[in-house]
Structure 1
Amino acid sequence: MTARLDPYADAPDRGALRFLHRLNPLAKIAGPLPAMIALVFTRDPAVCAALAVLALLLLVVGAHLSGRALLGLFVLLPLVTALLSFSFGLWADAAPDATGSGILFAVGDYRFTTAALAVGATTALRLAAIVLLSLLAGLTSTGPDLVRALVQQLHVPYRLGYTALAAYRFVPRFGYELDVIRQAHRVRGMAAGRGPLPAVRRHLGYVVPLLASGIRHAERVALAMDSRAFGAHPTRTERHLVPFRARDCTFTLAFWLATAALYAAAALLPH
């Protein structure tokens, strides 16, 4: 799993990974996308909850999740959803509706009703479902794979795609450079002092060397790309292929059908 997250690592053997990791990143975006768009306009909490459960089951069955990710999905996300349900409910119409919703608590003239809680829960479940659907691609794809898929399947100009990939690979480089600068400052005694002001001075002192390092690295990358005639030809030979196979089409169509069936059932069933 570490190699999957390393932007410098070669493409792993997808046969050893669970099925979500073996799918094309575009399939994992295209499949949940209609459901995510529909959720923006959905007011049925059952539909929101069903899509959230579907995404959660796919993540558990089809993805290699770390203990921290599982903790976030099964503990942190429910707690945040419950907190958001209450918070959104406070901003909803607190007056009891015509169906006679009950009053959960009252503070002065304010009445927090079950109807307001239901509105807040629907909004929170909608957000939770959108987050879980987005994690299908976010937790099982890498930036390089997504860029390669955009270039190979959607024919995004490789000059743009691989320039974005080079920028993406600057992120771990900056983290390493920042650690080196911090160590150099500590060796020179420039990191002395406690409190907010010394901390601000230390962080401001990192800006110039980090900027200089970034400029030097960008210059080296630009020279390397020019020496290899990058951008001189309309197409390029791909070293790592991210194909769009039959299983990607199957996953996308199955997700679309499941979403359509869920919304059709919600429309036909009595409320």
Structure 2
Amino acid sequence: MTVLAADPYADLAARGRFLLGLNPLAKLAAPLPAMIALVFVRDLVTPLAFIGLAYAVLVAGARLTPRVVLLLLVALPAAVALLGFGMAVWADASRVDQSAVVLTIGPWTLYGGALVIGLATALRLAAIIALALIAGLTTTGPDLVRASVQQLRVPYRVGYTALAAFRFVPRFGHELDVIRQAHRVRGSHGGRGPFAAIARWWGYLVPLLAGAIRHAERVALAMDARAFGAHPDRTERHLVPWRARDTAFTVAFAAVSLVILWLLFPWAASPWAGFPWAGFPGAGFPWAAA
């Protein structure tokens, strides 16, 4: 595979944001074992440890905008609290009726064991999301496609077709804005109310679909004119290599994940042994069904 240009991301790791200089596949592979292990975890401490690990890696290795910081520090904890309480409400009371009573409203009782089950489930989901953000916040779609073609040997016909489809998304947004402005200029806004909104969107859909078909036709003609797919390999303009630091990051992250599981997984119930709900069914078995 021929390379015409040097890697444009080669010096990003030297700028203090090492995640931006890593291969996208490394950022996907490193947290994958932890994400799989979290499916089988049922305690509170293990997902909290993985959330802390993901946050530490993001703070040290990514450029976090105020919006992302707000997401990590406010939105994600709020979602955990809301989801945890919601799942606690729907927990089977017969499984946790030996734990402490937290709230009683008429005939309905909320037990501490139900809160633990709900929070454990919510924290697992939050930990998986936090680990996925390591790649999601520092990787672009084109780089992921290029890395898949170069390292995973995905056929470039498949990879760059997906890349062309990915490029359609911002174009559709622009065309939708143009269509909306044209409707406003013509006064065909359709009034107010839910039915008017549905009518407006239907009016947007037909010209947007027609524009998508025209754009796809132009892209297909351009690819045919350049003999795309006629050869087994193609010349790469940008190289996304796999370096030693990618291997080091993947191995180090997997090792830290293994240490967290080794230290916390067998002792998941011990931090809560002094609480009244520590004896709810399954507390000693982190792999028991929540």
Q: Same fold (TM over 0.5)?
A: yes
Alignment partners' CA distance in 2, 1:214 and 1:97: 55
Structure 1 partner of 2:170: 172
**Which one has more relative contact order, counting CA pairs under 8 Å at least 6 apart?**
2
Cα displacement (A) at 1:107: 2.2
Structure 2 partner of 1:258: 256
Alignment partners' CA distance in 1, 2:9 and 2:266: 45
Alignment partners' CA distance in 1, 2:30 and 2:10: 23
Aligned letter for 1:38?
A: A
* Correspondence 1:61-76 to 2 at 5 A: 61-76=60-75
Alignment partners' CA distance in 2, 1:49 and 1:248: 26
Structure 1 runs of 4+ off > 3 angstroms? 10-14, 95-98, 267-270
Instruction: Give aligned-pair identity as a percent.
Output: 59
* Correspondence 1:43-82 to 2 at 5 A: 43-82=42-81
Q: Given the alignment of the two structures, is residue 239 of structure 1 paired with residue 243 of structure 2, yes or no?
A: no
CA contact 1:95–1:111 (8 Å) conserved in 2: no
Q: 1:85 to 1:267 in 2, by over 3 A?
A: closer
CA contact 1:17–1:64 (8 Å) conserved in 2: no
State the secondary structure of the residue aligned to 1:169. helix
Aligned with residue 249 of structure 1, among 247, 250, 275: 247
Aligned letter for 1:25?
A: P
State the secondary structure of the residue aligned to 1:117. helix
1:120-173 deviation digits (Å, cap 9, x = unpaired)? 111111000000000100110000000000000000000000000000000000
Stretches of structure 1 lacking an aligned partner (at least 5 in a row): 1-9
* Correspondence 1:81-96 to 2 at 5 A: 81-95=80-94
CA contact 1:86–1:117 (8 Å) conserved in 2: yes
Stretches of structure 2 lacking an aligned partner (at least 5 in a row): 1-6, 271-290
Structure 2 partner of 1:20: 19
Q: 1:17 to 1:232 in 2, by over 3 A?
A: farther
Aligned letter for 1:32?
A: P
CA contact 1:143–1:165 (8 Å) conserved in 2: yes
TM-score, normalised relative to structure 2:
0.85
1:30-62 deviation digits (Å, cap 9, x = unpaired)? 000000001001012111110011101111221
Aligned with residue 215 of structure 1, among 194, 209, 213: 213
Alignment partners' CA distance in 1, 2:28 and 2:149: 15
Structure 1 partner of 2:198: 200
Alignment partners' CA distance in 2, 1:171 and 1:77: 27
Cα displacement (A) at 1:198: 2.2
Alignment partners' CA distance in 2, 1:12 and 1:108: 62
Aligned letter for 1:59?
A: L
State the secondary structure of the residue aligned to 1:104. strand
Q: 1:13 to 1:181 in 2, by over 3 A?
A: farther
Structure 1 partner of 2:114: 116
